[in-house]
Structures are given as structure tokens and as C-alpha cells.
Chain A
Amino acid sequence: MKEVPIIEMKGIVKVYPDGTKALKGVDFSVKQGEIHGLLGENGAGKTTLMKILSGMLHPTEGKIYVRGKEVRFKSPADALANGIGMVHQHFTLVEVFDALHNIILGMEGHGLLSKINVDKAREKLKKLMEDLNFRVPLDVPVEDLPVGVQQRIEILKMLFRDVDVLILDEPTAVLTPIEVEELFAVLRKLKAEGKTIIFISHKLNEVMELTDRVTVLRKGEVVGTVKTSEATPQLLARMMVGRDVVLRIQKPPKEPGEPILRIENLWVKGDRGEDAVKDLAFEVRAGEIFGIAGVEGNGQTELIEAITGLRRPEKGRIILNDRDITGRPPKELYDAGMAHIPEDRTRMGLILDMTVTENAILGLQWRKEFQRWVGTVDWGKAKRHTEMLINEFEIVAPGVDAPVKSLSGGNQQKLIVAREVSKKPVLIIASQPTRGVDVASTEYIRNYLVKLRNEGKAVLLVSADLDEILQLSDRMGIMYEGEFMGIVKPEEVTTEEIGMMMGGIKYEELNK
């Protein structure tokens, strides 16, 4: 007898209210107890399909079966009642609540008008965290926690509800390599307990490592489902893109020019008053990509915030093109030729409720080319500019007047990159520039950064993705607790040596 799949979606069609046809008849089935990967380019419809499965969206057409029985989800409450829970690509946490209250929300466990009693919930969570070796601080407002921890809270939120099917939409995009390993360990444990997991990622090696089967979507249709053991990254990439993807970056050797950005003895404090950046000094020269590697949370964020004028340094100087810009406001820095791709796109890069056009000229609106007369924006020109960016970066968007939140996550990221490089900067600061971006677009963005470098721009790259740093950087600093363990050329060191520096061993000490 053929076993009944725990999830079966048949002929799913989704047309968004604005007419975007995101899914065009998708069949998707998941077996009990497997880890099922879901792959596809940005805008392929992965999130849409999973939002339908979790009751967030209603399918325009199609049927859903859970354990062989047809279901109709009116809301996520129905999906949860059927044991299906989703961790969203963009977190859904109440930022001012602590983890505990985020988790118990909607499942407080007693009368609506009686005093909240968290003892039982705390017990259950403690046990859950103990069993899975997956801990979060329960009593700190989540807005004060790093994204990696926020994500754990999201996962615990679902496990607290005893879901059988856990959907994870690009969970690793915001995690450090170590956190990814920890997450995988937890997911494997959950699988061993009999839970079913649907895992979305753009990173083929992760999908290869973790999943049992993979379904690939392209432009709202299923390309196919394969056993991971019978697949290769090349095969998956070809299924996704419809052509062979050369994951290679063309980077001709180049003599760097004058220093563009100079950091001198910089000290920056973190949110908790600790010294996050300690006496850092380096320079980024014209025609050079300078990479900063390191486990996230070792001062990279604070360093970038200081350079981009978002955080006041305690001591030291930041010099851009021979001009002291320490502590100057961001607008002045942008006018001086700095562009910034921020690490958190929804918090700092975009205004989600505003249109694609409005977002595409954010920070550019003062420029002459977008002004009609005093203070008014020439929206015709702005739209043409936006259309040009959309074409050049192959951004999939319902239109230039659509709100940015209707773009898929990866396309939002591409829009930021497009906007920032269109500022024609002399220095571009790229934090996690390819986070959440599909394989083909990653290749495009990386090549674009190299192109900027070849044109003589200075690029400061921060990435949690070590491959990205190694591939792109001319020189790289390995950051540990606010200091560089070494500034090296990627070809001079081995991965092991980098790993040791990331763990806090100085380069000079390595060679002894």
C-alpha cells in the first residue's frame, strides 16, 4: 500500500488582488517525517505556496489535503489546529514583548480575563529548550535580541504549539554558519521525533546537506521533485534557473589606488555599553574590495553603523577622501559619495508600505535630476529611473507603483542593491548584500560589486558568508571581539587559518 502523504496540495493557483499570478497550478506533496526542501528563484512563489499551506493566504484555486483529508483553512488558526505552523521569511514578532509573551500569545491557556499565568508555559518551554539544546532568553524584549535569537523564538513559538509540520521560510538567510549548524542539529532532532519539516533556502549546499527530497519551483510552476541523494547542486541550479548557472566570478587582478576610506583607531560602543569595536584601523582603497569576515556579533554591525553615521564613535577618526567624516550625519556622508546596503532590509533599507518607485529614489530625492522645482519630486523621471533599475537588475515586481512589501524577499534585496549602486558612489558599503537572494541574482550582484571595483570604486564588504568574502575580497580583515585578528589576502591563507582567526587567534600567532 502506498502511504498517504501528510501534506498534499493539488492544482494550487494564486492570483494576488493586483492581478499577479504567483502560482499557476502547483502540485506539492510531503511525506510524513521527511525534511523537504523547496527551491526556486526570487519570486518563484515559494513563500506564497507556504503561506497558503499555513492558512495565511487563500488559494484562488486548488485543494489541500492533510493526512488524506481535504481541508480548507480560513486562517492560520485552522492550519495550527491541523498541526501546521510556519516561521516566516520576515519575522512576525511583537517587538516590545519578551520571548515568553510572544510565544504564549493566543495560547495563554486560561480565561481571557484572568491574570496571565506564565508558570506552566515557562515550564514547558524550559523543557523544550533543554531537550533540543536550543535556548533563548525568555524575559528580554525581542527587539533587543539579535536576529539569530529572534528566529529561535519563532521556531519555539511553533514547537510550543506542538505542530507536526514545521515550515521554515529561508531560516538560514540571517544566521551565521555556526548558528546554521545548530539549527540543522535541532531540525534533525525534530525529524527523529517524527516531525515533518519544509525547508526553503537559496543555498544549495544547505539543501543538499539537510533535506531528503527537494521540490523546485520556477515562475509559479513546479519543475519537479527529486530525491536529494540523487541530485547535485548543478542539477538543482539548472532546474531552478532553466539554464546552466556558472557560479563563478570574473575578477581580474588590479592594482588598488589611493585610500578612499581610512579608519583610524576607532572605538565604538555597542547597545549595552560594551566596547564593540576596539581600536580598529584599516583603509579601503580605490579599486579594492575589502572584506570583513567573522562570526556575526563581533562588532561588524557597530563598525558599519559608525562608518555610515548611524552610531557615534567613542574615539578615533573616519576619513573619506581626505575629509574627516567622524560623527557626521548620514545625509552628508551620502552627499560625499558613500552608499550603503544595510544588513537588515526591512528595518533599515526599505519602507515596506511605500511604492517601489518611492523606495527606489529614497535618499536620491534631493538630487537635481529628480527635482522639478523647489522641493517637488519629478515622479515621471523617478519612475523611469525605477524602471531602468528593474530592467537592469531583473527585479520581479508587479509594477513601479506597487508597494514594496508585495515584492518577494529576494527582489526587495535586489531593489536596495540597485538603488545604492545607482547613487554612483565612490565608496560602497555592502552588508550581507546577497542575503535571501537566489543563485543567479547572487552571481549578478557579486559580479556587479567586482565591476564597481574595476571601475575604481572602493568597496567595503561585510558578510557572514565566508565564501562570498573569499571570492570577492582583495584583502580581508577577520574580526573577533571588535578587533582584527589579521588583515590578509584571501589567497594567502587557508580556510582553517581563517576559521582559527574567527575564533580569536591572531594571524602572527598562527605562523609561529
Chain B
Amino acid sequence: MDIGSIISIIVTSLMAMVPIVLTSVGAVWSERAGVVSIGYEGVLLMSAFFGAIVAELTGSGVMGLLGGIATGIVFGMLHGVLTVYLKGNHVIPGIGINLLALGVVPFGILAYWGTAGQHQVTVTLWSWQTKYGKISPMIPVTIAIAIITWWVLFKTPLGLRVRAVGENPEAADALGINVEKYRFWSTVYGHALAGLGGAYMSVAWLGVVQKAMSAGRGFIALANMVFSGWNPLVALIGGWLFGFFDALATWLAPLHIVPGQFILMLPYIMTLIIVAGIIGKARPPKWDGRPYKRE
């Protein structure tokens, strides 16, 4: 392996980490506040779709990303209302969102662009073309988001309250903290980041909208969140590791050194081993996934 391939694997891995890191960091925040969602897979897919539409309508890649965020916000609010205010089950709405995406996106591609299953996005976000592959400005943005989220979560009053609400909502409530408000907006933030990640896939990274383009990244992000011990910084590293082994697997595949199935498992297994190794036993927020009712 020469230095050029190494650099290009790293570049590819940084590009691949963005949606996973953004979703993981969003999920970390939401679960720190005590709201579980498994709907990120669907949110990624739908915001890839709507983000592309907005980009093409406005002629701006940045607007496309904002469109993805807006999509995330809508589903975050839906999930927030159901789980936080109506005290519903935290898992079921996510199943609904994922199923909805599987219907909306293929149908939408066909209905909107008139092509089946795939559409080449005409307006994309600017990126830096190098001989090792393209580099998106979303890479530093993602790293910054992970670091800022970590800082806010662990260093500021806002983060303290969010963590309190996820650990022991009754304690927070007794001190006059509006548990529902914090939980609701945390859910929205979590889904908004996933929405950004989704739009990035279509508008900045792959340049296409495909009916199954989320490809399990929403779930990988959740696994990464758990391995990270609900820590945005570790989730950043975990997301990058996944991207790295994913890129490595793609590079290895044509060489036929190891069986293909084994190569496909590589990113999952390596990420699991390394991140789980760093963290050891992590403990989820105590009230994670449990509705809070006063009476």
C-alpha cells in the first residue's frame, strides 16, 4: 500500500464519517435528555431526498443542507410530541418513521423526478477536488459540531440540565426545570443533526438520491452512540473509525485477499472492538427511554 492510497483512504473515511458522526452526536444528545429514537435511519433517508429537492429548487447546496435540517426538525418534533408530551413508547414512532421513509422516498423519486430508484442531484455543495478524492467543508463542520456538542453537554448549565433530565427527571422537576421542554428540544436537536447528515449524503457527498441510500447508517450511528458511552467526542472517533474501515474494506475488496463477506463485516467488527475497548462498560442515562409523568 503506497502513501497515496493511504491518504485517499483517509480522505474517503472522513467523507464517510460525516452522516454517522452527526447522527450519533444527535442521538447522544437526545438520549442524554432521556429520549430514545430508532427513527434516524428513516430521517437520514428522507432528508437526503428533501434536501436534494430544496437544493435543486433554490440552486444552492447550503439551502439543501438546511432543507435536510428542516426535515429532521419536523420528524424530531413529531417524535418529541409523541414521546415527551403524550408519554408514548419511545421505540414505536421510530419504526413508523423508518417505514414511512421506505415508502416516501422511492415514490417521491419517481413522482418528482420521474426516474425509478435513483436521481442524479444537479445542485451540490461546493467541495475541494483533490487527486485523493473530494473533500467537503462538511468535514470540519462535523468535527466542530461534535466538539461543541460535547462542550455544551459537559461544561454549561444547558448541558447540566439536559443530563439531569435524562438521569433523574424528578430531581430536575423538583428544582423547577421544565423537563418536557428540555426533552422535547433535545429530541428536535438530535433529529436535526441526523437531517443534516442525510442531506449531506445526497447534496454534498454522493450527489445522488437513491431509494435505500441510508444503508443502515442510522442504526450504525446508534450502535456507535452506545459504544461511545454517550459521549460526543468518542462518537466522533467511533464514526471516523467506521468510515476508515469502510474505506479500507472498499479498497481491499478488489484485491481478493480475504473472502468478500469477511471484508464487508470489517468496519462493523473493528469499530465495535476498538470503541468498546476504549469505553469498557458504559452506563446509559438512567431514565433513558422512559416517559416522565408526575402522577
A residues near B (Cβ < 8 Å) are 16-17, 54, 56-57, 75-78, 80-81, 86, 88, 92-97, 101-102, 104-108, 110-116, 157, 353
Contacts and interface: CB of A to CB of B under 8 A. Distances in A.
A95 B176 contact: no
B173 A105 contact: no
A57 B168 CA distance: 17
B144 interface: no
B92 interface: no
21 contacts: A16-B295, A17-B295, A56-B173, A76-B175, A78-B176, A88-B174, A92-B170, A92-B174, A93-B171, A94-B163, A94-B164, A94-B167, A95-B168, A96-B167, A101-B160, A102-B171, A105-B164, A105-B171, A112-B157, A114-B157, A116-B156
Interface of A is mostly: loop
A105 B163 CA distance: 10
Contacts of A77: 175-178
Instruction: For the complex of A and B, list the 6 residue pairs with the smallest distance between their C-beta atoms, beginning with the closest.
Output: A77-B176, A108-B157, A106-B175, A92-B171, A112-B158, A94-B167
Interface string B136-174: 000000000000000010011110110110011011111
A93 B173 contact: no
B294 interface: yes
A57 B170 CA distance: 12
B286 interface: yes
A94 B168 contact: yes
Given A75-B178, A80-B176, A106-B176, A113 B171 contact: no
Interface of B: 152, 155-158, 160-161, 163-164, 167-168, 170-178, 286, 290, 294-295
B123 to A, nearest CB: 34
A105 B294 contact: no
B175 A157 contact: yes
A510 B200 CA distance: 80
A157 B290 CA distance: 25
B168 A93 contact: yes
Contacts of A76: 173-176
Contacts of B177: 77, 105-106
A105 B161 contact: yes
Contacts of B175: 76-77, 80, 105-107, 157
Most chain A CB within 10 A, of B170, B172, B174, B177, is at B174
B243 to A, nearest CB: 30
A161 to B, nearest CB: 8
Contacts of A80: 175-176
B67 to A, nearest CB: 26
A487 to B, nearest CB: 41
B164 A115 contact: no
A147 B172 CA distance: 19
A116 B170 contact: no
B168 A92 contact: yes
